[in-house]
A and B are shown apart, each in its own frame.
Chain A
Amino acid sequence: GDSVTQTEGQVALSEEDFLTIHCNYSASGYPALFWYVQYPGEGPQFLFRASRDKEKGSSRGFEATYDKGTTSFHLRKASVQESDSAVYYCALGDRGNMGYKLTFGTGTSLLVDP
C-alpha cells in the first residue's frame, strides 16, 4: 500500500537557520503530495499541495518540489522563526479508487530557539 516516510523525528534549530525536512513516498499510482502543520492541542493545518512532477508548492515561506524520480517532497524554509515550532506532516493523496484516502507520515517535530 501507499506509505510516506519522514526521516527526521525531531529537528532543533535556531532562528534564521535553514530548514529541511525530508519526505519520501511509495505509491503504486501518481499521488498528490501535501504538507500539513500541527500546533500543540490543535488540528493539522493545510500548508500546500503539489499534484504533478516538478511542481512546487509553497506557503508562509515554506516550499517543496514534487520529484517523481526520487519519490520525494522535501520541505524547506530559508530562515525559520520561533513561531514555526510545530509538528510537520507530509501526506499522500490517492488519486485512484481510494480518492478519499490521505496517508500521513509519522511527523517531524520542529523546535526553533529564539
Chain B
Amino acid sequence: AQTIHQWPVAEIKAVGSPLSLGCTIKGKSSPNLYWYWQATGGTLQQLFYSITVGQVESVVQLNLSASRPKDDQFILSTEKLLLSHSGFYLCAWSLDWGGDAEQFFGPGTRLTVL
C-alpha cells in the first residue's frame, strides 16, 4: 500500500527566515506529485506539480520553489518567508496523468509565520 509522509508536522517561523518542507511517497514508483496550499478556513490552491525526477512545473507564483531530488521525494522551500505564507501545506500524488486521475493527499504541514 502507498503511504505519504510529510515533515515537519508543524512549524512556527519568523518573517524573512528560510523554509523547507518535505514529502515522501512509499510504495509507488514514479508517482506524479503535487504541492497545495490551504489558507485557514480556505480552499486548496495548487502550487506545483512534478511528473518525474528533476522536473517541476509552477502553477502559481507565491515566492516559493519546489524540487524533486528523488523519485519518491518532493521538497517545497523559500529563502524568505512572508506573513502570507502561513497556512496548511499539502503534498499529493496520483497514479495516472490527466484530469481523470484522483489525487491522494498527505497529512499536511501547518505553517505559522510571525
Cβ–Cβ contact A43 & B90, under 8 A:
yes
A95 to B51, CA, bound (A): 16
B-facing residues in A81-104 (Cβ within 8 Å): 89, 93-96, 98-104
Question: What chain A residues lie within 8 Å of B44 (beta carbons)?
Answer: 44, 89, 104
Does A100 lie within 8 Å of B32, measured CB to CB? yes
Chain B neighbourhood of A45, CB < 8 A: 105
The 0/1 profile, CB within 8 Å of A marked 1, for residues 82-108 of chain B is: 000000001010000111111111111
Are the CB atoms of A95 and B108 closer together than 8 Å? no
Tell me if A42 and B100 are in contact (CB < 8 A).
Answer: no
Contact A44 B105 (CB under 8 A): yes
Tell me whether B100 and A32 are in contact (CB under 8 A). yes
Count of interface residues, chain A, beta-carbon cutoff 8 Å: 26
B49 at the interface (CB under 8 A from A): yes
Please name the residue on chain A nearest to B34 by beta carbon: A100
Is B61 an interface residue, CB under 8 A from the partner? no
Q: Which residues of A contact B45 (CB under 8 A)?
A: 104
| Contact (Cβ within 8 A) A104 B43 | yes
Chain B residues in the interface with A (C-beta under 8 A): 32, 34, 42-46, 49, 51, 57, 59, 90, 92, 97-108, 110
The 3 closest A-B pairs by CB, nearest first: A43-B105, A93-B99, A95-B99
